[in-house]
Amino acid sequence: MAALKAFEYARAAGGPPVNVRFLVEGEEEITGEALGRYVREHADDLRTDHVLVWDGGFTEEGEPSLVTGLRGILYVELEATGPSIDLHSGVFGGVAPNPLNTLARVLGDLKGRDGRVTIPGFYDDVVSPSDAELGSWQRPADYAGLLRRMTGAKALEGEAEYSLTERQWSRPTLDVHGFAGGFTGDGVKTVIPAAARAKVSMRLVPNQDPARIFERLGAHLDALTTPGVTIRMSRLGATRPVLCGADHDGARAASAAFETAFGSPARLVRQGGSVPVAIDLQEAIGGQMVISGLAEADCAAHSPDEKLSLDHFHRGIEMLLSYLYALG
């Protein structure tokens, strides 16, 4: 009902009070680069006073948020090769190199049980948040329990010397997303495979550079592999981390609009995920940047049953209209 009323107000006013450009693309989840190239190539035509990146969400406590920082990402695929063909493990086991064995060892060696990434120089450029920003990241007393319930995990992991929010928002990570090779079908086939593959990503924080991390990872892989196995690395995607302030009219307008639509002003947070085009928008066309969105913390992002609340959808329409009129 509130959204319908907002539509009526907008129609009665004769349209939006500010000029609006929409840039929509479908490559964000694959670290696509097309939109970023477009933004930089057409920067002069896209100059603007305000930029809204509508890809954030609500906090675990159900509060709207304005995102002041996004982690970057380096996503790579590793291919380990050894013998020229698959081999019989009875005949050649003990003498033939096994790419699966080697790649499994290498992946395990990339991060310790303490959550620390072992790539030499990986942490050299990391810039930590200020004490004031850390102090604003307070969470409920049982935040660990909340995360366990949301993840369904028995225990949480990571660098114990950092808080859970720091691990989520301002510390870099390394995760393996897939591992394949050899025989995995029904039945029995005891082969030493000729090749194995894995997909690995690193979430990066200010001031880490994906290109520099890529080089350091490549050198580390060369040091970790076994003599009979070659590991080749290809880049699947990369983007740099982003920091954006909230002490400007655009952020204040967005927070007030959330309060109008949802009854609560927005909390300032960082987000552990990455939005590749954000750095291009920030550097190429300027404007006061607001990063926010309507997703709930338990929306099961990236899962088969990912969802969006219809209440958030309708209230979000009202919020966006209020935001545009506040800018005007």
Are 30 and 266 spatial neighbours (Cβ–Cβ below 8 Å)? Answer: no
Contacts for 155 with CB less than 8 Å, ≥ 6 apart: 148
Burial label, 129 (beta-carbon count in 10 A; 0-12, 13-18, 19+): buried
Q: For residues 35 and 28, give the distance between their C-alpha atoms in angstroms, rounded to a whole number.
A: 9
- Tell me which residue has tokens 């305000």: 50
Fold of 2-66+244-291+318-327: Aminopeptidase (3.40.630)
Are 163 and 138 spatial neighbours (Cβ–Cβ below 8 Å)? Answer: no
Q: What is the mean pLDDT of the chain?
A: 90
pTM for this entry = 0.86
DSSP 203-269: EE-TT--HHHHHHHHHHHHHHHS-TT-EEEEEEEEEE--EE----SHHHHHHHHHHHHHHSSPPEEE
CA 227 to chain centre: 35
For 101: left if phi > 0, alpha if psi spans -120 to 50, otherwise beta; the answer is alpha
* Residue type at position 14: G
Q: Would you list the domain boundaries of the chain?
A: 2-66+244-291+318-327, 72-128+170-239
In this model, does residue 10 exceed pLDDT 70? no
What is the band of 206 on the pLDDT scale with cuts at 50, 70, 90?
A: very high
In this model, does residue 288 exceed pLDDT 70? yes
Q: Would you call the peptide bond into 207 cis, given omega within 30 degrees of 0 as the criterion?
A: yes
Which residues sit opposite 117 in a β-bridge? Answer: 111
- Which element (helix H / strand E) includes 191? strand 191-192
pLDDT, one tens digit per residue, over 301-316 is 778 888 888 998 999 9
State residue 93's pLDDT score: 93
In this model, does residue 112 exceed pLDDT 80? yes
Q: In percent, how much of the chain has pLDDT > 90?
A: 64
pLDDT, one tens digit per residue, over 62-106 is 889 899 999 999 999 999 999 999 999 999 999 999 999 999 999
Q: What is the 3-state secondary structure (H, E, C) of 35-102?
A: HHHHHHHCHHHHCCCEEEEECCECCCCCCCEEEEEECEEEEEEEEEECCCCCEEHHHHCCCCCCHHHH
pLDDT, one tens digit per residue, over 37-63 is 999 999 999 999 999 998 888 887 788
List the CATH code of the domain at 72-128+170-239.
3.30.70.360
Tokens linked to 112: 């310790």
Q: Higher pLDDT residue, 34 or 180?
A: 180
In angstroms, the Cα distances linking 286 to 16, 43, 191, 209 are 22, 9, 56, 21
In this model, does residue 254 exceed pLDDT 90? yes
Contacts for 95 with CB less than 8 Å, ≥ 6 apart: none
